[in-house]
Chains A and B, each alone.
Chain A
Amino acid sequence: MKKILALLSFVLLFIACSEDKDDNILPGPTNANISFTFSHDWDGTTINSTNLQTEIVTNEHGEKMSMARIRYLISRLELVNENGDAYLFDGYKFTDLQDESTYNFTPVNNNIPTGNYSLKFIWGFNETDNIDGAYLDLNSASWNWPAMLGGGYHFLQFDGQYNVDTTAPSPFNFHNGTARVSDGVFEQNFAEINLSTPITITNNATIEVKMNFAEFFKNPNTWDLNVLDTPLMPNYDAQKMMQENVVSVFSIGNITQ
């Protein structure tokens, strides 16, 4: 009996000490705090609150464009190591290009083992998270996607003018969210962004995620604003093209640690 008890205690001791990757909170030299900073550009030209409304850019199709407003949402940032262990950061990131304080994201649960990782996240909200009206801060930012289009939230609001070098510039509203197939029939429209660039974490680190807005109009669908400018929210094909084009928008920048 004593032997059994001793064995049991021994086993319990080891189970208790095995690392649980879900709650890797213990600080120590082998762990690191992670934060993210998002930087934005148009094919290499930095876009921030200073020049958002003044920069004139040219899209892949050839139209000269100005930008008035860019806001976007990503969620479920996750670092995955070489063994396939995934570390999911709570929360979502809502960015308003006019407000540079929103460019950074410091997750609450931000302690992971050092090692080699790659980053993945969700463009917008996935079906589980995209619950109509569920997030008070996003409601307060009027970020809602109309119920008649499936509800939930915008993933992107990109407003501006195109053909600004002509006498007849026109507005565009490049808004992305749930796709409406037909009246009352909706299709999820989030995208899983997998950035394969290896990220080596040796210490507390800030990971720069770069976002090239030009890619929204480039790859794989060359966007013709003369045809697709506004309204795009109820346009199923436009919504699915945006879902395809967002995949190449993001890349990994500098890792500061």
Chain B
Amino acid sequence: MKFNFTYLLLFGFVFFSACEKDDEDNGYVNRPTPAPLEIPQIFSDNILDPVIPIDNPQTVEGIALGKKLFFDPLLSSNNTQSCAHCHLPQNAFSDIPRFSIGVDGVPGNRNSMPLFNLAWNYDENFFWDGRVFSLEHQALEPVINPVEMHNTWEVVIQRLQQHPEYPNMFTSAFGNGPITKEKATKAIAQFERTLISANSKFDRYLLGLTNLTPEEENGLNVFMDEERGDCFHCHGNPNNPLWTDNAFHNNGLDATFSDLGLGEVTGDPADNGKFRSPSLRNLAFTAPYMHDGRFFTLDDVINHYSEGLQDSPTIDPLMKKVNEGGVQLSDQDKADLKAFLLSLSDPSFINNPDFQNQ
């Protein structure tokens, strides 16, 4: 009997120790809470899954940390500018001036890009010229850019380490160990990936929840008609609700280039004057338009494609009738195209409380 009891005890010990939670293996005691992206139906029905790096899964703690960093001016050298300074929620995370002014009062040379649906940029080439691969790497640059935050990551990390809240937030999000710029940009990337816009009037139309006006319907036809707008080859279509191809095109802005765009990055003259197609979502909030913010209204943009094209050696062949300046849309088609484009804007995105500084 005693013998049996001993075995029972041993068995019980093994049983319980086998079930004991093993925190050592995780690297830290408290695991961050997974917070997978909620993929809108309009995306899951039509396009591939978003890109989430295997070494930076979305977590509640990571997103919260990223949001705090995004809105925190301590990232900039003189503590005056946060990411949100040039990426305003009410402007779909773009900026109002043509060129944003950095901490030293110096303007940049490109218009601040809007931020949404970034996890669906499958090629992961970021910035207007695609010079950085992955969102995590993208977030490293504005901090040290002399015409933006003009700081160093060493200074930023020092400030974060001495902050009353950040050290705990970093531990919650990424476990023990020092605060690093890699952890900081991972957190910012996690927050940025939550900036999902998929609730425009046109999204609801595709889901069968609303109807288009006759003007919007004709505008869609102009957009999809190779003989008129032919916008869809670069800017998506009802089956690709990103409304961008995230690829690089010379859309006929200039005959000669003061800014080489992709060509500056690749060193290939065949890429000169090419910039990444921006999404047409949220145009109502993202003026001015183009990589250099040269157009202040959507009418200016439409007029450019209709009759303002400038020829150059690298112009995209999709820019039709460039010899005549463009496809010469009628006034009615222009107005209807604009009505359709505005149906791609999503007020619920810019008003989403999760995306505000609070």
Report yes or no: A147 in contact with B47, Cβ–Cβ below 8 A. Answer: no
Q: How far is the CB of B203 from chain A (nearest CB, A)?
A: 15
> Is the beta-carbon distance between A161 and B317 smaller than 8 angstroms?
yes
Cβ of B11 under 8 Å from chain A:
no
Q: Are A139 and B239 in contact (CB under 8 A)?
A: yes
Within 8 Å CB of A144, what residues of B? 232, 237, 239-240
Task: Report Cα–Cα, A171/B316, bound state, in Å.
Answer: 8
Q: Using A133-B46, A136-B47, A139-B240 as known contacts, say yes or no to A68 and B226 having CB atoms under 8 A apart.
A: no
Of the four ranges (under 10, 10 to 19, 20 to 34, 35 or more), the interface on chain B belongs to 20 to 34
B137 is an interface residue with CB less than 8 A from chain A? no
Residues of B within 8 A of A230 (CB): 226, 317, 320
- In the complex the two chains form, is B46's CB within 8 Å of A142's CB? no
Residues of A within 8 A of B225 (CB): 146, 148, 234
| A173: contacting residue among B226, B234, B237, CB under 8 A | B226
Q: For A142, what are the chain B residues with a Cβ–Cβ distance below 8 Å?
A: 232-234, 236-237, 240, 245
Question: Is B48 a contact of A171 with CB atoms below 8 Å?
Answer: no
Q: How far is the CA of A132 from the CA of B226 in the complex (A)?
A: 18
A172 to B226, CA, bound (A): 12
A150 interface residue per 8 A CB criterion: no
- Cβ contacts under 8 Å, A200 to chain B: none
- From DSSP, what is the main secondary structure of chain B's interface residues? loop
Q: Does A53 reach chain B (CB closer than 8 Å)? A: yes
Cβ of A166 to closest chain B Cβ, rounded Å:
12
Asked whether, in the complex, the Cβ of B317 is within 8 Å of the Cβ of A68, the reply is yes
> Main secondary structure on chain A at its contact with chain B?
mixed
Let me know if A136 and B46 touch, CB within 8 A.
yes
Q: Does B270 contact A (CB under 8 A)?
A: yes
Shortest Cβ distance from A168 into B: residue = B323
A161-B317 Cα distance, complex, nearest whole Å? 6
**With known contacts A146-B225, A147-B224, A171–B46 Cβ distance under 8 A:** no
**How near does chain A come to B88, taking the closest CB pair, in angstroms?**
29
Residue pair B240, A140 in contact (C-beta under 8 Å): yes
CB atoms of B230 and A231 under 8 A apart: yes
Chain A residues with CB under 8 A of B221:
148
Write out the residue numbers on chain A whose beta carbons fall within 8 Å of the beta carbon of B224.
146-148
For A154-189 the 0/1 string (1 means CB < 8 A from B) is 000101110000001011110100000000000000
CA distance A166 to B316 in the complex (A): 18
Q: Does A54 contact B (CB under 8 A)?
A: yes
Known: A139-B240, A231-B230. Contact between A172 and B317, CB under 8 A? yes
- Interface residue B319 (Cβ < 8 Å from any Cβ of A): yes
The answer for the CA separation of A190 and B320 in the assembled complex, in Å, is 26
Query: Which among B122, B233, B239, B322 has the highest number of chain A CB atoms within 10 Å?
Result: B239
**Chain A residues, Cβ within 8 Å of B48:** 136-137, 140
Q: Check: B64 CB closer than 8 A to any chain A CB.
A: no
Q: In this assembly, does A77 line the interface, its C-beta being within 8 Å of a C-beta of chain B?
A: no
* A76 vs B268: C-alpha distance when bound (angstroms): 37
A175 to B318, CA, bound (A): 11
The answer for the CA separation of A137 and B240 in the assembled complex, in Å, is 10
Interface positions of A from 111 to 155, Cβ below 8 Å from B: 132-133, 136-137, 139-142, 144, 146-148
Contacts of A148 in B (CB 8 A): 221, 224-225
Q: Which of B237, B245, B320 contacts A171 (CB 8 A)?
A: B320
**B20 within 8 A of partner (CB):** no
Q: Which residues of A contact B227 (CB under 8 A)?
A: 231, 234
Q: Which residues of B contact A168 (CB under 8 A)?
A: 323
Residue of A nearest to B233 (CB): A142
Identify the closest chain B residue to A172 (Cβ). B317
Q: List 10 A-B contacts (CB under 8 A).
A: A132-B239, A133-B46, A142-B233, A146-B237, A161-B317, A170-B323, A171-B318, A171-B319, A175-B226, A234-B225
